[in-house]
Chains A and B, each alone.
Chain A
Amino acid sequence: MTMTDTPSPMSRLGRMMVDNPLLPLIGLLILLIAVLAILNPGVLSMFWAGNTIKIAIPLAMLAACQTLTMLTGGIDLSVGTVATIAAYVTATLAPMTGVPPAIAVALACAVLVGLVNGFGVAICRVHPLIMTLGTALIATGCLLVYQRYVIATGVLIPDFLIWLGTGRSLGLPNSLVLFIPFAALVIWAQRRSGFGRLLYAIGANEAAARLSGVRVWQVHLTLYTISSVIAGVTGLLYLGQIKTASLSLALPLDLPSVAAAVIGGTSIFGGRGGFGGTIVGALILTVLTSMLTLMQIPEGGRRILFGLIILAVTALFIRLTERS
């Protein structure tokens, strides 16, 4: 690769987009909203905006798991399963034990899955994709077994989760009460904390990080545990939003969470990206989904589109970073 030739305006633009993805992303979001307004005049309102934000929040939280793991070059495909388990366990244990112990057990399950993921990735060096897929399979099996023992106990969804999931204050969804501090914490952690910098360091060059004394396995173990806990909390929020406990509650969010992180400018190879872009990515996907629903595109078409988006964005990203 030669560094001498002057960068063309095209590649400079690309460079800027890679370094600072937030501006073009917000532009894309506004464009999508405009198209939606043309397709369906009169849809835009405060209520619609609140609803879109409400739907985008669980997606953005699960995408936070993907963003953090992708920073190290990993991925966490067990988030949908973990969220589902946390929600199901909370809803079914609450009538028996009361709400706080139920939530504690639910989050303990999430921590357990995260630790297994972390163990496999950090110590056995299994590819995160295969590892998290495997734990998701095992965890789903455990959920099915668990479900047979609690099938008769009935379901109780804690009131404050319903308030958090579906309530509105001043026209804005209450879930922002959880999400704004969460987003601030994640963005602070990845930019300013030592742990966040370790994630970037490992993603950019794992060997270099190891040689500079980073205990990579400890970082991976912590990271996958944190990711699972976030997924568990998301499951609780999602339970309040959907208000039913099902065995496949958050599973449809698995793929969009990866797509949201990738669209948000986080590199799936590690070392680049951030949660700010991911939030916009989640909003874009939510608007896109409502557009597809409006045009009556079936679920299959949506999956194809999301898959192609992941592929196209990643290929574009490689082109843009290679040239500079």
Chain B
Amino acid sequence: MKRWIEANSWTLGLAALLVALLLATKLIQPGFGASGLDSLARAALPFALATVGMAIVVLAGGIDLSIAAMMAVASVTGAVLMAGASDAQAVLVVIAVLALGLAMGAINGVLIVASRVPDIVVTLAMLFVWQGVALLILNAPGGGAAGWLRAMGAGGVPLPGLGWLPRGIVFLAIVTALIWLPIRRSKLGLRLYAIGSDPMAAFRSGVPVGQTRIAAYALCGLFAALGGLSVTMGTGIGEPIPGPYLLASVAAVVLGGVVLGGGRGGLIGPILAVFILRTVRMDLTLLSVDPNVAAIVEGTIMVAVVMFGAVLATRGRRT
């Protein structure tokens, strides 16, 4: 038990911080309750999904700068195809968009492996490409979303024994668990961590480094597609210009205890970190801070977190 606590001290600390922040929210606004938690979950959902995708790539020793642009592509594709479609057709659309996400991520991965250009440059170039694709599909925010998809993100799910949970959180937990847990337990999960901590050693122990890297980027693309769908889910339209998901996901990954450079960390920490960052933003709104000022504060926190993480990473490399 003691060893488990020690091994997960960072994650536990994040959880404690999140609880403290939620208590602070309750102090700021005594009426904070189910509906507040629900809107928090809804706002955090795209960020959380982007962060999960980013975390998988970072664990495998890479980084994906095109994640926000892929989300935009998924969001507009979903919204354009769903506008005027029936509920049954919308299911097909969702599946198609998820496949599209996998394909976009796999393209990123194949380009990185085949061109031997560093991931940061490839995904920067692909960031522009996916942005262009999103703009070609939909020039201005528009399109529509199926009713059941919109309903999925809002409201609550009564859980026996646990009381009540916002649907956003349940959705996030189910999706992440369904996709990540089987992978984490399989050979692929081990390989992801292996190429993240030392690609050369992984290669020498027979890990197909290239394939594993492509798989990591494809998974990232899949989560980006989920994130893009959740944007459409929240707003009911497709957004061709992505929000600040790139920086937010990098910051959450770093704050969540995943080392930039790969090989160490999990997914729970980054997800907790997303909720911490979102709660800070919500508290600023509740304190009736000007939204633009809140954006500045949030950006400053994210940059400070990334700076702190970089300092830690440099220290770690030296010792």
Residues of A that sit less than 8 Å from B by CB: 75, 120, 124-127, 129-131, 133-135, 137-138, 141-142, 144-145, 148, 255, 258, 268-269, 298-308, 310-311, 314-315, 318
Contacts and interface: CB of A to CB of B under 8 A. Distances in A.
Contact of B115 (A134, A269, A301, A315): A315
B92 interface: no
A145 B310 CA distance: 29
A298 B292 contact: no
Given A134-B302, A314-B121, A129 B132 contact: no
Contacts of B121: 268, 310-311, 314
A299 B133 CA distance: 10
A299 B135 contact: yes
Contacts of B117: 311, 314-315, 318
A304 B129 contact: yes
Contacts of A138: 296, 299-300, 303
B292 A300 contact: no
Contacts of A300: 131-137, 139
B23 interface: no
Contacts of B127: 307
Interface of B: 65, 111, 115-118, 120-122, 124-129, 131-137, 139, 244, 246-247, 250, 260, 290, 292-293, 295-296, 299-300, 302-303, 306-308, 310-311, 313-314
Nearest to B240: A300
Contacts of A269: 118
Contact of B133 (A75, A124, A133, A304): A304
A148 B307 CA distance: 30
Contacts of B115: 311, 314-315, 318
A311 B134 CA distance: 19
Given A137-B295, A300-B136, A300-B139, 19 more contacts: A124-B307, A124-B308, A127-B120, A130-B250, A131-B303, A131-B306, A133-B247, A134-B247, A134-B299, A137-B302, A137-B303, A138-B296, A141-B295, A145-B290, A145-B292, A255-B128, A304-B128, A304-B132, A310-B124
Contact of A130 (B290, B292, B306, B311): B306
Given A138-B303, A141-B292, A315-B115, A129 B65 contact: yes
B65 A134 contact: no
A310 B126 CA distance: 9
A133 B246 contact: yes
Given A125-B311, A269-B118, A303 B247 contact: no
Contacts, number: 124
8 contacts: A75-B124, A134-B303, A137-B303, A258-B124, A300-B131, A303-B129, A306-B132, A307-B129
A298 B308 CA distance: 41
Nearest to B134: A300
Please name the 10 residue pairs, one residue from A and one from B, whose CB atoms are nearest each other, closest first. Answer: A303-B132, A307-B128, A300-B135, A304-B132, A300-B136, A307-B129, A141-B296, A134-B303, A311-B125, A124-B307
Nearest to A124: B307
Contacts of B296: 138, 141-142, 145
B111 A126 contact: no
Query: Which of A127, A133, A307, A318 gathers most chain B CB within 10 Å?
Result: A307
A232 to B, nearest CB: 20
Given A137-B299, A299-B135, A120 B246 contact: no
Contacts of A120: 303, 306-307, 310
Contacts of B260: 127
Contacts of A310: 121, 124-125, 128
B293 A145 contact: yes
